[in-house]
Amino acid sequence: MSNASRRAQQAKRRQQRLRRVRVVALSGVVLVGALIAVLVVSGGGEDDAGNLDGKIDIEMFDYGFAGDLTAPAGPIELSATNVGRLNHNIGIRGGPISQEVGAGGRVSLDLGEVPVGTYELYCDVIGHEAKGMVATLVITEPEPDAASDG
């Protein structure tokens, strides 16, 4: 085998190794990006007490809602921020609905006393609900008062 063909084979092997390294590096970047996205959407894994005060923060994005949609029965207030590009609103099926807000806007919606159960939240901007802009609000039994536990 000539020196030229050996060099060509070595160069080819180096290119193949370099391609593998690039694929592995790119896969790692994609994986880290996906993990960051999951943490952002889920609230970063914070160990908080949830929505025990009945105030629920929600993000409205283009064709969806994000946030901890669980709270104990009682007075419930939704505070929704539009992190999407399109106008959105938020309502509870059979109940009140907020005004429409643009990108970066924030709106509050007082639901009043909400009993235990599951409720559908939705955006009633034309076409948004059909594209999946719905979510389930879960209202649970209130936890017993820690002070009354003796």
Q: Is the same domain home to 43 and 73?
A: no
Phi, psi of 88, rounded to the nearest 5 degrees:
-145, 165
Q: What is the pTM of this model?
A: 0.63
Q: Is the same domain home to 88 and 19?
A: no
Q: Is the same domain home to 23 and 96?
A: no
Residue 56 parent element (H or E): strand 55-61
**Residue of 7 and 138 predicted with greater confidence:** 138
pLDDT digits 0-9 by tens, 3-54 = 778 888 888 888 888 888 787 777 777 777 777 777 666 554 444 446 778 8
Q: Is the same domain home to 85 and 122?
A: yes
What pLDDT does residue 63 have?
93
First to last CA, the chain: 89
Beta carbons of 114 and 51 less than 8 angstroms apart: no
Instruction: Give me the domain span that covers residue 72.
Output: 55-149
Q: Find residue 70's DSSP bridge partners.
A: 138
Q: Is the same domain home to 26 and 86?
A: no
Q: Is the same domain home to 70 and 141?
A: yes
SS3 content of the chain, % helix, strand, coil (to 5): 30, 35, 40
Residue 27 parent element (H or E): helix 3-41
pLDDT digits 0-9 by tens, 63-109 = 999 999 999 999 999 999 999 999 999 999 999 999 999 999 999 99
Q: Is the same domain home to 108 and 144?
A: yes
